[in-house]
Amino acid sequence: MRHGPLKLKAQILCGEAIALGPGKADLLEAIAEHGSISAAGRALGISYRRCWLLVDEMNRCWRERLVVTGRGGGGGAAVTDAGRRVLAAYRALEAAIDDAVAATAAFATLDAALRDEPLPPSAP
């Protein structure tokens, strides 16, 4: 999420792995919308392999699987009830962070002191 020059990215960690972040949340939404990992990847401009690795990492990080896939050549994928709950909580967390940033004087101070663009590099 971005507020002018401030970009915040909420990441939920499981050990050193990113259990959920903005990209994985977008992937969950795309899987829910398209019903398959490959279609979600096409919609997001991400390879199937990368999407599969992200789904696998999410499923290994959470107590319940967030995505289930079809077996036996049937294809398809679905976001589980646990996946929908985790995604909704993550989006609520993003909204709370967004609200907190908008309400803080610290951000206003930083924003007022920041240039629109950096100056050219100094000569050595």
pLDDT value for 124: 80
pLDDT in tens, 19-61: 999 999 999 999 999 999 999 999 999 999 999 999 999 999 9
Q: What are the CA-CA distances from residue 37 to residues 11, 17, 65, 101 (Å)?
A: 22, 20, 15, 34
pLDDT of residue 99: 86
pTM of the model: 0.84
Task: Give the whole-angstrom CA distance, residue 26 versus residue 17.
Answer: 17
Q: Name every residue whose Cβ is closer than 8 Å to that of residue 116 and which is 6 or more positions away in sequence.
A: none
> Residue 116, Cα to own-chain centre: how many angstroms?
27
Model pLDDT, residue 3: 62
Q: Find out whether 114 and 107 touch, Cβ atoms under 8 Å.
A: no
6: left (phi over 0), alpha (psi -120 to 50) or beta: beta
pLDDT at 16: 95
pLDDT tens profile 69-83: 986 566 799 999 999
Q: Does residue 118 surpass a pLDDT of 70?
A: yes
**For 82-114, how does the pLDDT look when each residue is reduced to its tens digit (9 = 90+)?**
999 999 999 999 999 888 887 788 888 888 888
pLDDT at res. 109: 86
- Domains of the chain plus CATH, in order, are 16-101 (1.10.10.10)
Residue 9 has pLDDT above 80, yes or no: yes
